[in-house]
């Protein structure tokens, strides 16, 4: 059994997929095809989120918010990471279309969508990189060629 992507809401499994095409049975392939077809309607939203997370400084600010500020940071807290107020303005303005960051009173926090997508992209992708590198390091089958 290889790597899997599982998304749960409490006890309900929303999505569970093997991450290796070799592990896809016909039902899994059909599910993936259906999900990808459905995602066509959300391409703009998906691209907006990917664009938001494509900036290293934004990701550093979000990481600081989650690690050090319990997901709620003041402008001053964010300046510790961003240094330049323009970065904070960019963070808030770029997230506003999808409401990834919420401005509340004197501070900012990640919305549920912002936090979920941040954790999925940062922690999930990092783990995936680590695991696939480990699998590739253990696979010596190419050395005999």
Asked if the model's pLDDT at residue 132 lies above 90, the reply is no
Tens digits of residue pLDDT in 35-45: 999 999 889 88
**Taking the chain, what is the end-to-end CA distance rounded to the nearest angstrom?**
26
Tens digits of residue pLDDT in 74-89: 988 998 888 888 888 8
Task: Report domain extents, the chain.
Answer: 55-116
Tens digits of residue pLDDT in 92-126: 888 767 689 988 888 899 999 999 999 999 999 99
Q: What is the mean pLDDT of the chain?
A: 86
Residues 6+ apart with CB under 8 A from 57: 82, 87, 90, 91
The CATH number of the structural domain formed by 55-116 is 1.10.10.10
């Amino acid at each position: 059994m290889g790597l899997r992507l599982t998304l749960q809401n409490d006890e309900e499994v929303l999505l569970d997929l093997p991450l290796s095409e070799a592990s896809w049975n016909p039902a899994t392939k059909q599910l993936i095809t259906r999900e990808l077809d459905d995602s066509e309607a959300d391409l703009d939203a998906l691209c907006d989120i990917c664009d938001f997370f494509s900036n290293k400084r934004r990701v550093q600010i979000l990481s600081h918010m989650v690690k050090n500020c319990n997901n709620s940071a003041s402008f001053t807290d964010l300046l510790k990471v961003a240094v330049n107020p323009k970065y904070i303005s960019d963070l808030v303005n770029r997230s506003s279309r999808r409401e990834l960051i919420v401005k509340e009173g004197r501070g900012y926090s990640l919305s549920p969508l912002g936090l979920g997508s941040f954790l999925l992209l940062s922690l999930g992708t990092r783990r995936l990189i680590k695991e696939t590198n480990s699998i590739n390091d253990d696979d010596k089958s190419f050395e005999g060629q």
